[in-house]
Amino acid sequence: MIHLLATGGTIAMQRSAAAGGNVPALDAEQLVQAVGGLGDRRALRVEDWERLPGVHRGPVELWALRNRVAELVAATDAPAGVVITHGTDTLEETAYLIARTVSPEVPVVLTGAMRTSSDPGWDGPANLRAAVEVARSPESRNRGALVVFASRILDGRFVAKVDTLALDAFASLHAAALGAMDGTVRYQRPSEPHHLMLARDLSPRVAVVPLILGDQGALLDLARPQFDGVVIEGFGRGNIPPGAIPAVRRWLDDGKPVVLSSRCVAGEVGGEYGFEGGGGQLLKMGVLPAGRRTTSLARMELVLSLSAGVPYGTQNR
C-alpha cells in the first residue's frame, strides 16, 4: 500500500481567469483521476491533507505535516511508502525536515510540478507516477525522505530548487543524485547514514541575512532582538565585509548562534582566509559553518538544533 498525502502546490493548480493566474483547484482524488496510470487503485490510499501553495505553509503547518508523516511511518500497518505532492517553492524545506526527524525505514517521496494541468506539457503526471514507483520499490527502504522530479531521485537532505521555471527545477548540490527513473527505478549509489534530530517543533526563530558589498551589519543588528539565531550568507568560501564583523560579534556575545553559508550555489564555506572578515576569522570567533547545506537548509538545521537543544551540526546527517 502507498499512502498519497496531497498538500497542494502547482501540481494541484489550474489557471483562473478571475484570479488572473494559477490557483489551488484539484483535491487529492481529482489529482489522482487527472494523472491516471498509478497502478492498482486498491494499492493507493489517498489523503487530502491540504490544498496550499508552498509559501502559505508556516512553521506550525509544516510541523503538523511532519507529524502526520511520522504517524504514518510509525503505524503498525505502515504503508510501503508515502508520497507527498507539494508546492515546489518550499519543497526542499519539507524534504529536509522529514529527512532529519522521521525514521528512514519507510520511504517518503516528495514531488510536484512546474506547470499546472491547464498548461501544455503538464509535468505533474510524469512526476507523480515516478514518485509512486520509487515509493513502491524495495530498494527505497531505509533511504528516508527522497525527492523525485524530472526523472531524478534525490536525497531530501541535499535537494534544492535551482530554477524558477524549468521542468528539471531540482538538483542535489552537495551530494550526487541517488538514481534516476528510466522506465524503472534505478539507484546508482547508497544513501548516506541517517542520524535523526529529536526536535520538538519549529518554534525557534532563525533569521537569514545575506550580506552585501560594504555591509556594516545594520540588518544583523535590526534582526538580533527578534530572533534566536541567524544564518549569514557570505561570499565565496564565507568571507564577509569587515564592517559587519562587530554586528556578528554582538550576536555571539548574546549567546545566539550564527551560521555561515555562501551565496555560491555549491561548495562549502571554509577557513583558509584569515583577513578581517575572512571565513577563517569568523570560524575562529565561533561562527558555525553551514556544511553541505544551502542557506535555506542551513536555516532549517539551526531551527531543529535549537528545538532539540543541541549544538548546530552535533547530529549532522
pLDDT tens for 182-230 read 889 999 999 999 999 999 999 999 999 999 999 999 999 999 999 999 9
Reply yes or no on whether the pLDDT at 313 is more than 80. Answer: no
Q: Helices (DSSP H) in the chain: which residue ranges?
A: 28-35, 59-74, 91-101, 124-136, 218-223, 245-253, 279-285, 295-308
pTM for the structure as a whole: 0.96
Catalytic status, residue 10: yes
High-pLDDT (> 70) share of the chain, %: 99
Catalytic residue among 7, 10, 90, 111: 10
Q: What is the pLDDT of residues 106-156, one digit of tens each?
A: 999 999 999 999 999 999 999 999 999 999 999 999 999 999 999 999 999
- In eight-state DSSP terms, residue 274 is -
Q: Are strands 159-161 and 170-172 parallel, antiparallel or unpaired?
A: antiparallel
The H-or-E segment that residue 209 falls in is: strand 206-210
Task: Domains for the chain: give ranges and CATH numbers.
Answer: 2-187 (3.40.50.1170), 206-308 (3.40.50.40)
Reply yes or no on whether the pLDDT at 317 is more than 50. Answer: no
Q: What is the pLDDT of residues 67-99, one digit of tens each?
A: 999 999 999 999 999 999 999 999 999 999 999
Nearest-CA neighbor of 53 among 112, 104, 129? 112
Confidence tier at 40 by pLDDT (50, 70, 90): confident
Q: What is the pLDDT of residues 153-179, one digit of tens each?
A: 999 999 999 999 999 999 999 999 999
